[in-house]
Structure 1
Amino acid sequence: MYAHGPSSHIPQPPHSAGTPYKGLRAAIDPNQIPSPIDTIELDREKWEEEPYPTLPGHHAPLSTTDYVAIDQGNSSPRYVRMSTWNMPSSSRLASECEVPIAAVIQPFADQDPREEPVPLVDTGDVGPARCARCRAYINPWCAWVSNGARWRCNLCSHETDVAPEYYCALDASLLRLDHLQRPELNKGTVDFAVPEQYWAPHPPPAIRPLYYSMSPDPSTSTRKPRPMDYVFAFDVSQDAVRLGFLQTACNVLLELLYGRDDSVLPCFPTSSRIAILAFDRTLQFYNLSSEIVGQPPMLVVPDVDDVFLPSTAGLFVNHAESRDAIIDLLTALPTRHEQTVENEVALGSALSASLAALAGRGGQVVVFASSIPTIGVGALEPLVDESTLYGTDKERTLFEPREETWKDIGEQCAAEGVGVSMFLGPARPIDVASIGVPASLSGGELYFFPRFDPIKDAPCFASHFRRLISRTTVYSCSMRVRCSVGLRVSKQYGNFYESAAGDMEFGTLDADKTLAIALEHVRTLDDRQYAFIQSALLYTTREGQRRVRVHNVALRVVTLAGNVFQFADMDAVVSLLLREAISKLPSYRFAQIHESLTEKCALILYAYRKFCAAAAAPTQLILPEAFRTLPVYVLAMMKTKPLKGRSVTADVRNYYGHKISAMSARRIMHHLYPRMLALHDLNDEIALPDANGRVDLPSLMRCSHLFMESHGVYLIDNEDAMMLWIGASVSPQLLKDLLGVDDIWEVDQHMLSLPQLPTRLSTQVRNILAHRNAQRGYTPKFTVARQNIDGAEIEFSDMLVEDQNNAAMSYIDYLCLVHKQIHTALTTGASIASNNGFRSMPW
């Protein structure tokens, strides 16, 4: 704590303009409106010491809480989070409650180190037991009949014979005698090792092939699982060289492969092989064989319209065995092209060549690109001034690929088990809506560094690249979600390709990828039985084993709206609503998407008032416990980069749309409502290890200038960026302890991280940041904003989502708007969704 004079609250910092409330409203104390921070802190205190048992009937911890889950036959909410843990018995009850029925699934979520690892079950050549009718996998909720000779599927009630190799007699409780020794019969999440019939199939020939294949047709219908191979494709055009993007990419890849001194350790998987490809207006392949002495030979393909592999000799190599050749090549690439005047790139052709290299085996492509592709496969015309399209019917074209070939590339990559991830460092608009499609359809990732600056962007680039290589990643994936009879999957959201059969196909899938599955009733459920959801993901591990990961969830079925709301989960609802809104970008205007979000928010709160708190006066704002802070999160959705009004470039909107569509519930909640800390108010014990080595983290604060003071220093973190805001009246001692200077004008506005100082405050803050970065696996970009001095203050202010900014209202005004709408519906009986009411509101 640092001594200071009388409290001096700050005026709202400069920001992108907001929207005022239209009409009169009573003066409201900001401290009296529901606070997301209070909800987060209460939940954190509850689950800090107490493990979470996963059997039905418990409130799941919030996604923002660090908890230990004990798998009792239901998957941990880390893997599957339901929008309500009490399933409405009928479609009528579900529509009355207005709570969308959805599952948010993160199949490979990072576990808490205190939890048991996911068990691996190997049933030999017979494979995992599956229902003969619906093909669901054996799980803890199945029943055994005929003394164990048959089992009844919990999803469809069909009875299936037990294979002789899998048979076991039952005990007096009708459980198998080996029940406790078989994880698949008592754990909600398991991995099954699977036999040859589960191997990935070769896809049928493409209607429009992207490359010319000289290899013979495969002799088998399936392909043997192998360790995952990587292709690294480097843009060597003028922009990539001039910006330092090529040099940075080569340097970081060398560090990941071989480390640097003792400070940076290598993290590349030892079982994987790599290939390196360079491209501008030609494709350049390299023979990296360990027998080659000196510079690796280069093979050039000048025809970028008819792509083929010139040779496979030395194309894929073990990075340890070919160390010298790889180091020589990555060191020479930037200098070899430093005088280039080539500004045309064949990015689509490079992706097609990478796909050709990995066809028949699957793997991952990592591309580094700086220029819009103007020649070769998927060539694009230079972009017109997009501002001329704003507000017109053609604005939606900014969110669709301008060339269908990019969809073909994504679909063929997903079919071949190839994931595409792209690092984009453009100097000019690069059309993310088109070139980002292969990453979205193949389960890959986009990283966006506009106007790339090696000094500012290299640390963040290196951190994301390390996370990409080191996190759990699998390939050649196919996923299906099955439900109890009476439910069905209605919509699937995320970064994948949906096959004709409705399966989700991924080239690669990793620990950070999350999907949202919307469900609907097809008939009434029995409230004396549980409802069940089962997710099954067939995949190949990075080491080359074929497996199925199965997640099971059992839910109580209820007939009263109050019970649905009692066990609703706002984190899952918010995750679904945000993905739904982003998916509408090519079809609807921003105003319509905003109206729809506000309508859904008001409908959920109105349904609670109507069915669970009807006796209260209509003038009272009564909110369900689970959705107390829903309005602020819906408002925050309208302030995100993909959805906010005013001029955000199409590249930025599309990039963030791609990222958010695959974000976990936890990251979405932190992205929508950033974590903010008052660093000048940390007490002396917080964030320092105690006698047991445990570190307590400080409480967060509300994201509004109304709670800030001019003598303060604040840290805000939305998972994508971290910013340090320094008030104009800051204490010199505070600056000295945190930044090593005693004058605000001496603060280095270009610093990329906090300096390591021997002070208590410096240690505390660095411990907090280290904890957060270790949890998420990467380090976001770090920026300093001094009050009324630095331009970065605008970006900081836009992250204060409770304020009036980002072409939207303040939280107080938005809450009044929603309350007014609910009050009107309660007193007049008008429908919130009617055209003469809600949609004509001018906001």
Structure 2
Amino acid sequence: TAFNVELNHEEMLAAGSTVAIQAALLYTNTDGQRRICVHTLCKPVTSVLADLFRNVDVDATCNMIAKVALDHALRTGLHMARRYLHRAVVDAVRAYRAATTSPYGGAAAGGPGLNTRAPLPSFTHMHAAAAAQSADITHMLPENLMLLPLYAMGLQKCPLYRGGEHIRADERSSLVYRMLTMPAVDSNIFVYPRLYSLHDMDASAGMPEPGAAPLSALATQPAVVLPTVVNLTAERLTSDGIFLLDNGVEMYLWIGRACPPAALNALFGISSLDGLDLQSLHLPELANPFSERVNAIVRALREPHFQAQKLRFVREGAGDVAEMRFHWHMVEDKQAFVGGNLTYAEYLPLVNRDSQMAQMGGGTS
């Protein structure tokens, strides 16, 4: 559970000094004892605005704007919430460009100032090719915030904020309450789900990490090696493949129409899905390496969550609700609702153009 607080400090702060923020949580543990948990955070003060941008946590930022957008959605509707999400990333790009081009912005990237955050993991560099298609993309945001446009677009297309008439009111209400207290590590997966390719995963995927301990005191198994994450676009799906998608709330196992009978037999104990009601299908634990590894991956993805994600099965070309909902999560593709009809490669130039217009005093699209 995570609670978000926005602080506004109006007094002058001396550069080179530090500021401390302390939060205390009063709670009752499972034994009925009253406890106080105190968190203290100390950060240096800088007069270099560019340094501030280079030390921002993109996951925490995305978590914050997702929750602020809830207020916009409740007061003025989903369309205005999506406009806020877009404007938030546009304002960030505009402010960073001003910080690095004005005489008051401070040191350029790599110059003197505060130490920058550690490099992002390899997952964050999957979109370098698409980003390169956008004019001046390398100057839009520092490396630690390069995924902010992708996350903002993912938020606009996720089941919580997407438009259209296919999200039931009770489902959206449930997602609202989930997001209100969702930690940054969970909102990161919810905004940009993880898509794993199972049919061609490495031999180590689904196996315990060497020397790995359980993920937590409540964990029932050690951490396992997960398959490589692929981009959320239908172009990465192959008809002879099997893909697992996880957004932290639910999972989808996508099965191509040309999936080899040997793979189906290893995973389900059947050679074909023809004439089978996928709603009655379940993932059995069979005595073969492929089944054991896939089940280990599913258990590992469910382990950190108090409420296990329901696993839904999708057959390519079925044209049913499950396949439609699976493709909702292909956030880099166009979606069939107002405000979701851009691909990621098309969205980046829009953010760049709107930020330039905002810097010159114009509005956003």
- 1:289-326 per-residue CA deviation (whole Å, 9 max, x = no partner) reads xxxxxxxxxxxxxxxxxxxxxxxxxxxxxxxxxxxxxx
Corresponding residue for residue 153 of structure 2: 635
- What SS does the aligned partner of 2:274 have? helix
Q: What's the offset of the Cα at 1:802?
A: 1.2
Paired with 1:631 and 1:715, the residues of 2 have a C-alpha distance of: 24
Corresponding residue for residue 607 of structure 1: 95
2:75 matches 1:574: no
Q: Which of 142, 161, 169 is the matching residue for 1:650?
A: 169
Aligned length: 319
Q: Which of 137, 145, 156 is the matching residue for 1:621?
A: 137
Corresponding residue for residue 523 of structure 1: 11
Preserved contact between residue 751 and residue 784 of structure 1 (Cα < 8 Å) = no
- Closer, same or farther: CA 543–570 of 1 in aligned 2, 3 Å: same
- 1:623-673 per-residue CA deviation (whole Å, 9 max, x = no partner) reads 311111111111111123332222233333222111111111111111111
Q: Residue 297 of structure 2 aligns to which amino acid in structure 1? A: I
Identity, in percent, stands at 28
- What SS does the aligned partner of 1:516 have? coil
Q: Which of 801, 804, 811 is the matching residue for 2:334?
A: 804
Report 1:690-701 matches (<5 A). Answer: 692=211, 695-701=224-230
Corresponding residue for residue 815 of structure 1: 348
- What SS does the aligned partner of 1:697 have? coil
Preserved contact between residue 198 and residue 227 of structure 2 (Cα < 8 Å) = no
Corresponding residue for residue 105 of structure 2: none
Paired with 1:524 and 1:755, the residues of 2 have a C-alpha distance of: 62
Q: Provide the TM-score with structure 1 as the length reference.
A: 0.36
Preserved contact between residue 157 and residue 331 of structure 2 (Cα < 8 Å) = yes
Corresponding residue for residue 708 of structure 1: 237
Paired with 2:295 and 2:276, the residues of 1 have a C-alpha distance of: 18
- 1:215-251 per-residue CA deviation (whole Å, 9 max, x = no partner) reads xxxxxxxxxxxxxxxxxxxxxxxxxxxxxxxxxxxxx
2:59 matches 1:543: no
- Closer, same or farther: CA 619–546 of 1 in aligned 2, 3 Å: closer
Preserved contact between residue 752 and residue 782 of structure 1 (Cα < 8 Å) = no
Paired with 1:587 and 1:748, the residues of 2 have a C-alpha distance of: 41
Report 1:501-516 matches (<5 A). Answer: 513-516=1-4
- Name stretches of at least 5 consecutive residues in structure 2 with no aligned partner: 103-107, 110-133, 213-221
Q: Which of 305, 314, 335 is the matching residue for 1:785?
A: 314
Paired with 1:708 and 1:823, the residues of 2 have a C-alpha distance of: 36
Preserved contact between residue 739 and residue 747 of structure 1 (Cα < 8 Å) = no
Corresponding residue for residue 292 of structure 2: 763
Preserved contact between residue 606 and residue 822 of structure 1 (Cα < 8 Å) = yes
Q: What's the offset of the Cα at 1:719?
A: 1.2
- What SS does the aligned partner of 2:292 have? helix
Q: What's the offset of the Cα at 1:779?
A: 1.8
Q: What's the offset of the Cα at 1:698?
A: 2.0
2:325 matches 1:795: yes
Paired with 2:347 and 2:196, the residues of 1 have a C-alpha distance of: 24
- Name stretches of at least 5 consecutive residues in structure 1 with no aligned partner: 1-512
- What SS does the aligned partner of 1:575 have? helix
Q: Residue 640 of structure 1 aligns to which amino acid in structure 2? A: C
- Closer, same or farther: CA 627–686 of 1 in aligned 2, 3 Å: same
Q: Residue 327 of structure 2 aligns to which amino acid in structure 1? A: S
Q: Which of 204, 227, 231 is the matching residue for 1:685?
A: 204
Paired with 2:316 and 2:348, the residues of 1 have a C-alpha distance of: 29
- Closer, same or farther: CA 815–520 of 1 in aligned 2, 3 Å: same
Preserved contact between residue 18 and residue 45 of structure 2 (Cα < 8 Å) = yes
Preserved contact between residue 72 and residue 78 of structure 2 (Cα < 8 Å) = no
- Closer, same or farther: CA 793–802 of 1 in aligned 2, 3 Å: same
Q: Residue 352 of structure 2 aligns to which amino acid in structure 1? A: H
Q: What's the offset of the Cα at 1:560?
A: 0.4
Q: Residue 637 of structure 1 aligns to which amino acid in structure 2? A: L
- 1:790-824 per-residue CA deviation (whole Å, 9 max, x = no partner) reads 51100111111111115212222221211222344
